Amino acid sequence: MQQKMEVGILGATGMVGQHFVKFLQGHGWFDLKWLGASDRSAGKKYRDAMHWHLAGVTPEAVADLVVEECKPGNAPRLLFSAMDASVATEIEQAFARAGHVVVSNSKNHRMERDVPLLVPEINPDHLKLVPGQQRHRGWKGQIVTNPNCSTVVLTMSLAPLKQFGITKVIATTLQAISGAGYPGVASMDIQANVIPFIGGEEEKMQQETQKILGTFRGDHIEPLAAKVSAHCNRVPVVDGHTVTVSVELAAKPSEADLRHAIETCRGVPQEKGLPSAPSRPVIYMTEANRPQPRKDAERERGMAAFIGRLRPCPVLDWKFVALGHNTVRGAAGAAVLNAELMYSEGMLD
């Protein structure tokens, strides 16, 4: 890589924005040069515009950058979006119209027919939606999205099983409090407790899973024809979403078939050696009591999904536990990997 590409962040002062700032430090291809937020923050130095919520201090490389309003103008072509959902639709579209490549973590455009909902190891071909998106909308730029933080864990764990014909999925989440942003869930509600409701999350998991595992059909994605049922719970864990999964598979594979499929699973990011790609997208753990969020979520820089406890299910066919880092693979890291894939395919030239 000769020269680094300048990039920016829309919503840089928020919780996910800070994760982008942290994840992009020292990136080999991308150079973070522009930070955008609301007019409440615009005009201030980054260090004065937000409270840094992550471990350590605000990275020196960005601390003195002056935050700008999220309006097309002097921002770099490639922008990561971590904007509040109430404003993301219009602002992301305005930037795409003006020729920017918006790689978004917000939910707003994920389910649009012509917008890729990308997990590079699973559906890199869904990027083929982009030319149609540009043609139909008259955009010089584009919008590409990454999934909800619990959906990415579920889909990465299901991807190796797709070859056996997934017909039914029941997934129950144990989601970390960092997924609710800051200040998030009140401590009185979550300490030593479980909250069996996360607004809109079950619907997102069900629909996004079918789109991600679906098939590119020229101008749209045909959703995976599997029934997906999600139960979403908030638990007193700081980072790392655990998902327990039961799955029905048409081909009735053996346990050895499934283990082989999981252990040999690789994707385009691994083949291309993309900078943020984990060595393997899905890592099987043989210990009886793993994966666990505190012990495993940070491994592979938070970019892999961990699976364990594969065993027969008396209701569907097989059941297992999956884990992923919700603010890395479920947010900033996912979007950066998407942009790396697009860069490697010449889509950012």
The residues annotated as belonging to the active site are 149, 241
Structure tokens at 56: 């350590």
The distance of closest approach from Cβ of residue 233 to ligand NAP in the complex, given in angstroms and rounded to an integer, is: 16
* Minimum distance from residue 346 beta carbon to ligand NAP (Å): 28
Candidates 71, 78, 146, 153; CA nearest to 107 is 146
Examine residue 16 and tell whether it contacts ligand NAP (CB under 6 A): yes
CB-based contact 300:325 (threshold 8 Å): no
* Nearest-approach distance from CB 15 to ligand NAP, in angstroms: 4
Q: How far is the CB of 320 from ligand NAP (least distance, A)?
A: 24
Side-chain half-sphere CA neighbours of 149 within 13 A: 29
User: Tokens in use for 191?
Assistant: 């300490």
Q: Does 17 bind ligand NAP (CB under 6 A)?
A: yes
Site string for ligand NAP, 20-59 (x = CB under 6 A): -----------------xx-xx--------x---------
Rounded to whole angstroms, the maximal C-alpha distance in the chain is 60
User: Distance of alpha carbon 216 from its chain centroid, rounded?
Assistant: 20
Q: For residue 92, which phi and psi values (nearest 5 degrees)?
A: -60, -40
* 198 near ligand NAP, judged by CB under 6 A: no
| Interacting residues with ligand NAP between 110 and 169 (CB under 6 A) | 149
Contact status, residue 214 vs residue 221, Cβ threshold 8 Å: yes
Backbone angles phi, psi at 103, to 5 degrees: -105, 105
Q: 69: closest CA among 102, 95, 107, 31? A: 95
**Least separation in angstroms between CB 9 and ligand NAP:** 8
Q: How many residues bind ligand NAP (CB under 6 A)?
A: 32
CA distance 341 to 128: 13
Of 178-186, 197-205, 252-260, 317-325, the window that binds ligand NAP (rule: CB under 6 A) is: 178-186
Of the candidate spans 7-15, 123-131, 134-142, 256-264, the one that interacts with ligand NAP by CB under 6 A turns out to be: 7-15
Residue 181 binds ligand NAP (CB under 6 A)? yes
Binders in 218-247 for ligand NAP, by CB under 6 A: none
* Residues 6 or more apart whose Cβ sits within 8 Å of residue 61: 25, 32
| CA–CA separation, 12 and 184 (whole Å) | 18
Residue 305's nearest CA partner among 148, 87, 156, 86 is: 156
Report the interhelical angle of 149-158 vs 201-212 (nearest 10°).
40
Q: Is 13 in the site for ligand NAP (CB under 6 A)?
A: yes
Distance between alpha carbon 84 and the CA centroid of its chain, in Å? 16
Nearer to ligand NAP, 177 or 213 (CB): 177
The window from 93-101, 121-129, 179-187, 272-280 that contacts ligand NAP (CB under 6 A) reads 179-187
The verdict on 327 binding ligand NAP (CB under 6 A) reads yes
Q: Is 83 in the site for ligand NAP (CB under 6 A)?
A: yes
Among the candidate windows 102-110, 137-145, 252-260, 285-293, which touches ligand NAP by CB under 6 A? 102-110
| Residue numbers at the binding site for ligand NAP (CB under 6 A) | 11-17, 37-38, 40-41, 50, 70, 82-85, 87-88, 91, 105-107, 149, 178-179, 181-182, 326-327, 330-331
